[in-house]
Amino acid sequence: MNQAPDPSLWNTITPLPGKYGHASLIPLAREHKDALTEAVKDGSLWNLWYARVPSPEGMEVEIDRRLALYEKGEMHPYTVLNHEGKIVGMTCYQMLDAKNRRVKVGYTWYAASVQKTPLNTEAKLLLLTHAFEQLQAISVCFTTATYNLASRRAIERLGAKLDGILRNHSLYDDGTSRDTCYYSIIDGEWPAVRKNLTWKLEQHASGGE
């Protein structure tokens, strides 16, 4: 078993620059509000009833919520940049459990124009690499609604395995119940997952994908 990391690593958000030119992650800041508001309008993502995406009017509140959770040590919120350095979405680490070396990647959304591109592959590679190789996590989990088929496919393409489905796990704002799919990647699987994601990005760079 690897030696447990310095707990301060779990309490500090770290910029995650991309290597393949598709995505980089920077700590979320209030000055990102206007660009994030424009990004979420690309595809009107907040209208997807099964996805928890902030509306343009609710962006400031959502940013404040994420930053407050960071101050409590409960979230590492990131702003996602594309290959041009343009803000195109949000993601985060949450449910940070340094003692048990578990973390969840979640609350992710991207502008419609960058969906189905290598951006998500590189963004997830950055998050997984930091989690397994710097935080020395033994498990990284992902959750999504059962009806969010696009999200489920994207998670499965990463190499995550379905642990189970929690029925009536939570309620949407309108009172509709949500069944939640739990996926995870564990440390023993990480070398193969890393190799596959890296291969995909290298294939795209060479024009093979």
Tokens of 97: 């459990």
**Measured distance CA(152)–CA(150) in Å, rounded:** 5
Structural domain boundaries in the chain: 9-204
Question: Residue 16 gets which letter from DSSP?
Answer: B
Query: Dihedral angle at the C-alpha atoms of 156, 158, 161, 163, nearest 10 degrees?
Result: -80
Tokens standing for residue 203: 């294939």
Q: Cβ of 170: how many Cβ atoms within 10 Å?
A: 13
Round to whole Å and give the CA distance between 151 and 47: 15
Give residue 8's pLDDT. Answer: 83
75/43 Cα distance (integer angstroms): 26
For residue 206, what pLDDT is reported? 62
Residue 20 DSSP one-character state: S
CA distance 39 to 89: 6
**Could you tell me the pLDDT band of residue 209, with boundaries at 50, 70 and 90?**
very low
Per-residue model confidence as pLDDT tens digits over 126-155 = 999 999 999 999 999 999 999 989 889 999
Over residues 71-128, the pLDDT tens digits come to 999 999 999 999 999 999 999 999 999 999 999 999 999 999 999 899 999 999 999 9
Q: How far apart are CA 90 and CA 139, in angstroms?
A: 22
Q: List the structure tokens of 85.
A: 């350095």
Tens of pLDDT, residues 11-67? 999 999 999 999 999 999 999 999 999 999 999 988 887 778 999 999 999 999 999
In contact, 63 and 32? CB cutoff 8 Å: yes
Q: Pick the residue with more confidence: 191 or 203?
A: 191
Sheet containing strand 177-186, strands side by side: 24-27, 75-81, 87-97, 102-110, 139-145, 177-186, 161-171
Cα dihedral sign, 42-45-46-48: positive
**Could you tell me if 105 and 142 are in contact, meaning their C-beta atoms sit under 8 angstroms apart?**
yes
Beta bridge partners of 79: 26, 90
Average pLDDT, the chain: 92
Contact 80, 119 (CB under 8 A): yes
Asked if 111 and 43 touch (Cβ cutoff 8 Å), the reply is yes
Q: What is the pLDDT of residue 1?
A: 47
Q: Would you identify the CATH topology of the domain 9-204?
A: Aminopeptidase (3.40.630)
> Residue 170: its pLDDT value, please?
87
* Whole-angstrom distance, CA of residue 40 vs CA of residue 63: 13
The confidence band for 207, taking pLDDT boundaries of 50, 70 and 90, is: low
